Structure 1
Amino acid sequence: MTASADPAGRTCGTLAGVNEAERQALELAVELAARGAGTVLPNPVVGCVLLSPSGQIVGRGWHQRAGGPHAEVVALADAGDAARGATAVVTLEPCNHTGRTGPCSQALIAAGVAKVIVAVRDPWPAAAGGVDVLRAAGVEVHEVGDTDSPAEDVNRVWLTATRKRRAFVTFKAGMTIDARVAAADGTSRWITSPESRADVHRLRGEVDTMMVGVGTVLADDPLLTVRDADGELVGRQPLRVVIDSPGRTPSDARVRNDDAETLIATAAEFGHGRRVDVGAVLSELYRRGRRHVLLEGGPRLATSMLDAGLVDEVVVYIAPLLLGAGRSLLDGSAVDTLTAAHRAELVAVDRFGPDVRLRYTVRG
């Protein structure tokens, strides 16, 4: 990657009631939280920084894996006795829930933390309430309350999935400058650069589910696995989901091999008439503990999901190519006038070799 930018200006900026040391600590907590992407699902990414009364960092931590210690507990252990009287800056409300770990709200109280700055309230009812418990114990609590904050963005997958009770969907595609994903003869390997393809496998490694339509399976016979530059499997493999209303996925399709678990979603199981109800699939994935779907094709499935309000963000890799003909990024939309267009906000711009990667949040 040779360049990176955040056109949305997602820094913590000037926050009411937060001093400069606390603002910088919140930015660091967001960076720490991001380190848990891909390893904490189905849990949230969380970062925590502890500041001494003079504003010095005395502890830091992040949630590293599902079932492991939470960010606050890691930061408290890092700080030791210096946690007493400190300020804890946390990207997500400290949990008030006993699961595989104890409640972080109680851990902060027991450590003698004097103040807690909370960037985002926890929307999961079972774990919420940490702010109230802290205040009842005499701990000063300041809520940032910025719905467009970096803390919201870094944890967008878990927050959105929890609020909507369905898996978060990232639509990913590689395309030419004129939005073609394949040439007129059907060839599509390779539109994007090796650098972009390596980043796609990094992204695959951060999700717990990958999804395609049966048309993509029939046309490309993809593996839908996380691999290194030599084609070897790397790390935990996401669940592979094929949206296949009539059940046309061949028995010898590579997506059916033993490299990863696969779900063939047919109308018989997830039916809405003769078609798969993709919303029902996403809800079922959530019920099964899946939180992040990487939608990789094809154009008709992506379009139908976009029209149904089931796409949360779009990541596109744009190669410096022009075709003028061939398969488009989207196909078959119900949108027939400009005023009905789906709106998106550009969140990040990155460069990979000769390609540009754009990340958009879909607003409606």
Structure 2
Amino acid sequence: MEFPEQDAAHMARAVALAARGHGTTSPNPVVGCVVLDAAGAVAGEGFHLYAGGPHAEVGALAQAGERARGGTAYVTLEPCDHTGRTGPCSRALLDAGIARVVVAVADPNPKAAGGAARLRAAGVEVTMGVLAAEAGRVNEEWLTYARLGRSHVTWKFAATLDGRSAAEDGTSQWITSPEARADVHRLRAAADAIVAGVGTVLADDPRLTARPDGPSAARRPPLRVVVDTEARTPPDARVLDDQAPTLLAVADDADTGRLKADVLRLPRHGSGLDLRALLAELAARDVVGVFLEGGPTLAGSFLREGLADRVVAYVAPALLGSGRAALGPAGVGTIDAIHRLTFDEISPIGPDVRLIARPAAQPSREQ
């Protein structure tokens, strides 16, 4: 469906504003809002900055003041119609005298939805679906969480041009550049949880912490999650230090007596754990976005189950010829079963290249 050029332009600005909330709004969505006055001039802008803080509409209306009366509001997500830590945005728009509201994506959360219906019932003109794909993309983690009842998963890996993540002797530090590693820490800091398998813990003893530079350094540390079916994590592993909270996901019959850690027991699934149950349990703990950094076996399991929503690959201009592959068995027995992706972005990061892609058919992007 085509929309007026002006609607698309103002919604594009609202989408850009929404993106500023990445990493700070969880478990709430990222939302942007632009308010025009009755003459069509921009009177106010806002975005949701943190959970419990003013919603995007409230911020934009406050900036617009009396100029909002008779004007238009562009919002990336349907205005909420419930009272939580803040009041309903539908009521705020009505109180401000807004005459028209343009929405990109309908709210899939039944507790908050209904804002568009309330606005229409009060005589406000409501247009839905403007730049829905763009607004859905910027808010994809929360939309997965709200629509599917599980955490959104970004799988990250670093590899050589020939797809190796480690040499024959197991060494892997460092395949990519300091610039790429700094970028990884930035992405880690924006996630709610960092997930790895016990194999990675045993091989590398990683901290699994986010250590970004700049403003994101002040954000709360992501939860560290170790997928450890048989509870093999050593009691002195660095992932169990006090630098960030840690959750060990183990089989429901695993012996955890020697471990002093927060444990999540899950059903077995094949030789590992039920990963869908893991993501549902994490969502219940308000984990909206997961950053998967496990080794090839765990990554293969997530892909096999259709649970990798986005792939971020850092590729170094280097060759190994042998060694560990970045991805293990992923349920592909024939070329017809290949996991096809579409590229979102290809960017140079120092001497390396960052590739961002997603499955060509992604359930979390259902409208």
Give the TM bin, normalised by the shorter chain.
Answer: over 0.9
Task: Give the corresponding residue for 1:43.
Answer: 28
The alignment partner of 2:77 has SS state of: coil
Aligned equivalents of 1:357, 1:233: Cα separation in 2: 22
- Whether contact under 8 Å (1:95, 1:129) holds in the other structure is yes
Q: How does 1:202-221 map to 2 (within 5 A)?
A: 202-221=186-205
Equivalent of 2:278 in 276, 281, 292: 281
Task: Give the corresponding residue for 2:226.
Answer: 242
Aligned equivalents of 2:125, 2:285: Cα separation in 1: 38
Aligned equivalents of 1:240, 1:120: Cα separation in 2: 31
Equivalent of 1:347 in 338, 344, 347: 344
The alignment partner of 1:241 has SS state of: strand
Task: Give the corresponding residue for 2:266.
Answer: 270
- Whether contact under 8 Å (1:225, 1:233) holds in the other structure is no
Counterpart amino acid of 1:161? Y
Aligned equivalents of 2:284, 2:312: Cα separation in 1: 25
The alignment partner of 1:302 has SS state of: helix
Task: Give the corresponding residue for 1:4.
Answer: none
Equivalent of 1:98 in 62, 83, 92: 83
Query: In the superposition, relative to structure 1, how do residues 81 and 229 fare at CA in structure 2: closer, same or farther (>3 Å)?
Result: closer
Counterpart amino acid of 1:311? A
Query: In the superposition, relative to structure 1, how do residues 77 and 229 fare at CA in structure 2: closer, same or farther (>3 Å)?
Result: closer
Q: Answer with 216-225 or 345-354: which moved more.
A: 345-354
- Whether contact under 8 Å (2:27, 2:51) holds in the other structure is yes
Deviation per CA, 1:269-320, whole angstroms, max 9, x where unpaired?
Answer: 1122663211111100011111111000110001011101111110111111
The alignment partner of 2:105 has SS state of: coil
Task: Give the corresponding residue for 2:71.
Answer: 86
Counterpart amino acid of 2:288? R
Equivalent of 2:135 in 137, 146, 151: 151
Deviation per CA, 1:102-153, whole angstroms, max 9, x where unpaired?
Answer: 0001100110001111000000000001110010010000012665x21010
The alignment partner of 1:40 has SS state of: coil
> Is it true that 1:291 corresponds to 2:288 in the alignment?
yes
Which residues of structure 1 form unaligned runs of 5+? 1-14
Which residues of structure 2 form unaligned runs of 5+? 253-264, 362-367
Deviation per CA, 1:39-75, whole angstroms, max 9, x where unpaired?
Answer: 0001000000011233321100000000001000000
Equivalent of 2:3 in 17, 21, 24: 17
Q: How does 1:48-87 map to 2 (within 5 A)?
A: 48-87=33-72
Q: Answer with 216-225 or 269-278: which moved more.
A: 269-278
Aligned equivalents of 1:336, 1:275: Cα separation in 2: 20
Aligned equivalents of 2:66, 2:30: Cα separation in 1: 26
Q: How does 1:188-207 map to 2 (within 5 A)?
A: 188-207=172-191
Q: Answer with 344-353 or 94-103: which moved more.
A: 344-353
Counterpart amino acid of 1:81? E
Aligned equivalents of 1:163, 1:334: Cα separation in 2: 25
Offset of 1:348 from its aligned partner?
Answer: 1.5
Aligned equivalents of 2:129, 2:79: Cα separation in 1: 14
- Whether contact under 8 Å (1:42, 1:289) holds in the other structure is yes
Bigger relative CO (Cα 8 Å, ≥ 6 apart): 1
- TM-score, L = length of structure 2: 0.91
State, as a whole percentage, how many aligned pairs show the same letter. 54
The alignment partner of 1:205 has SS state of: helix
Equivalent of 2:298 in 293, 296, 301: 301
Counterpart amino acid of 1:289? D
Task: Give the corresponding residue for 1:6.
Answer: none
Task: Give the corresponding residue for 2:262.
Answer: none
- Whether contact under 8 Å (1:87, 1:114) holds in the other structure is yes
Aligned equivalents of 1:254, 1:213: Cα separation in 2: 14
Aligned equivalents of 2:230, 2:23: Cα separation in 1: 32
Aligned equivalents of 2:66, 2:131: Cα separation in 1: 32
Aligned equivalents of 1:17, 1:218: Cα separation in 2: 54
Task: Give the corresponding residue for 1:320.
Answer: 317
Task: Give the corresponding residue for 2:258.
Answer: none
Task: Give the corresponding residue for 1:361.
Answer: 358
The alignment partner of 1:119 has SS state of: strand
Task: Give the corresponding residue for 1:120.
Answer: 105
Query: In the superposition, relative to structure 1, how do residues 282 and 82 fare at CA in structure 2: closer, same or farther (>3 Å)?
Result: same
Equivalent of 2:153 in 140, 144, 169: 169
Q: How does 1:327-342 map to 2 (within 5 A)?
A: 327-342=324-339
Aligned equivalents of 2:167, 2:72: Cα separation in 1: 57
Task: Give the corresponding residue for 1:139.
Answer: 124
RMSD between superposed Cα atoms in Å: 1.6
- Whether contact under 8 Å (1:48, 1:91) holds in the other structure is yes
Query: In the superposition, relative to structure 1, how do residues 215 and 234 fare at CA in structure 2: closer, same or farther (>3 Å)?
Result: farther
The alignment partner of 2:153 has SS state of: strand
Offset of 1:228 from its aligned partner?
Answer: 4.0
Aligned equivalents of 1:345, 1:249: Cα separation in 2: 36
- Whether contact under 8 Å (1:96, 1:130) holds in the other structure is yes
